[in-house]
Amino acid sequence: MEQIEVLITDSQPMLQALITNVVLALVIFFVGRLISRSVRNIVEKMMNAKSVEATLVGFIGNLVYYAAMTLTVIVTLSQLGIETTSFAAVIAAAGLAIGLALQGSLSNFAAGVLIVIFRPFNKGDYVEAGGKSGSVESIQIFSTVLKTPDNKVIVVPNAQVTGGAITNFSRESKRRVDLVIGVSYDSDLAKAKSVAEQVMKQHALVLDDDFTIGVAALADSSVNLAVRCWVNTPDYWTVFFDLNEQIKQAYDEAGVTIPFPQMDVHLSKP
């Protein structure tokens, strides 16, 4: 009986230290989890304030949370006296293996992060990227979704998007409409230019009087006129189609000929 009492007395400091470590470990775990959630919420609020795609916000928020929780677990185990060096090595090795297996996906993810940071385009912009053109429907974790004017959905890997040139047709508020109108060599060039200018002046969507009308080329069958004007970006295609049609009609009324490809054949006798 005395031996049991002695054993209990001798083990009291060890039990007290164990209980203290367990309590501290629990405190560290719950406080760490609370901090992890707070950090995730802060990151998500910052990204939402910058209008980042919701899918990417959720993914990065969870990534930050689990990274913080991993650190919390390591500190908790260390407080319990468990050797964490080998544990960290196992995590590092597993991360390396997963990284090698998902190398392509990780490059797409990294490219998606770059798109979010540098914002070469936003949702709704009409862009040409990765060899494809369309309106940006969404910027996802691994890919960017485009919708073409004929309602086709194109999914472009983010690495392919950032791996080449990106043309954003919607970034600026104004765009220039460039037309090439061919008139015959017999036509009066001054009259042809004047008629085209009048058509542009009368169009309600053409901005100001900043027109450019000049001879672009002396082609095989026609004199090609470069006809250029500025419009608001959303009006680009409306003005493009209208001017082509209205200039053709105005040339018909004014007697300015728009020729078709032709060839003059000369026959000679010996």
Domain boundaries along the sequence of the chain: 2-101, 120-168, 174-254
Question: Which residue in 174, 150, 171, 149 sits closest to 236, CA to CA?
Answer: 174
**Architecture of the domain delimited by 174-254:** 2-Layer Sandwich (3.30)
Instruction: Establish whether domains 2-101 and 120-168 are of one fold.
Output: no
Report d(CA 236, CA 234) in Å as an integer. 6
Q: Which amino acid is at 132?
A: K
Q: Choose which CATH entry (1.10.287.1260, 1.10.357.10, 3.20.20.140, 1.10.10.10) describes domain 2-101.
A: 1.10.287.1260
Q: Which two tokens stand for residue 5?
A: 């009492």
CA-based R_g, the chain, Å: 35
Q: DSSP state, 128?
A: E
Tens-of-pLDDT digits for all 270 residues of the chain? 555 555 556 566 666 767 777 888 888 888 888 998 898 888 888 888 877 766 567 667 777 888 888 888 888 877 777 666 666 666 666 666 655 555 667 788 888 888 877 888 888 899 999 999 999 988 877 889 999 999 999 999 999 999 899 999 999 999 999 999 999 998 999 999 999 999 999 999 999 877 899 999 998 889 999 999 999 999 999 999 999 999 999 999 999 998 877 677 778 877
**Against a cut of 0.75, is the pTM above it?**
no
Extended strands (E) in the chain? 126-129, 132-139, 143-147, 153-157, 167-168, 174-183, 212-218, 223-232
State the amino acid at position 246 in one-letter form.
Answer: Q
